[in-house]
Amino acid sequence: MKKSCQVAGGRSIIQIEKDRVAWLDVLKALLNDHVFVETEPMTLLGWRSRLAFGVLFVAWCVSIWAMPLTKISQMLHLTVILFHETGHIFFSPFGEVMRVAGGTLGQLLMPLICCLALRRNGDAFGAGVAFSWMGLSFMDASVYAYDAFDPVLPLIGGGTGADSFHDFVFLFDHFEQEAHSRSWASAMNTAGSLVMFAGLTWSARSLLHAVPEVETES
């Protein structure tokens, strides 16, 4: 009977289950203590200001999420276009494919850098907003990826992908994925949506955790 409870490495099933529970406890503690909780003091006015901004930001995010893949949000695009073009320059030493893909990588990396920097400085709410921004940026890129199959969207250099250079037309052609381009675009949009909603949840939880502290201070 004892042998049946042994697995590879001589560890019992009970011990493995205890280890699994211990790791889950560690993960929960990590999320509660170091991710969602604001480590910097927050005044009641600061909390209310973040709540007001959060409500507006959620409304904006949902409006973008509800857009079809054939429509671009100009306001969102303006928040990432500078980093997109910078990405082309930054990744240009690594070859033509990386130079072209660098635009999308650039507009994803900047929100991620902001997220990490804000979290490092104790701003969990801001980190969640930046994480949502990264998801939104991926959704922005997905619109252009969807457009690659039948290019009609105007490009920053003028014209459309039908008569001008289009990042995703080039990339899908290079990797022989033209026939699956819209499937890739839909997957990008879904991934971006998940990241966006995860970021919103992060920011919301940081505010909920801060409520007792704010009430005590007030």
Q: Mind listing the pLDDT tens digit for each residue in 120-135?
A: 888 999 999 999 999 9
pLDDT of residue 37: 67
Alpha-carbon distance of 72 to 4, in angstroms, equals: 60
Q: Which residues pair with 12 in a beta bridge?
A: 6
How confident is the model over 54-98, as pLDDT tens digits?
Answer: 999 999 999 999 999 999 999 999 999 999 999 999 999 999 999
Q: Which residues pair with 6 in a beta bridge?
A: 12
Per-residue pLDDT, averaged over 168-173, amounts to 95
Task: Quickly state the pLDDT bin for 20 (edges 50, 70, 90).
Answer: low
Owner of token pair 């240009």: 92
pLDDT of residue 194: 97
3-state helix, strand, coil in the chain (%, to 5): 80, 0, 20
**Higher pLDDT among residues 158 and 16, named by residue:** 158
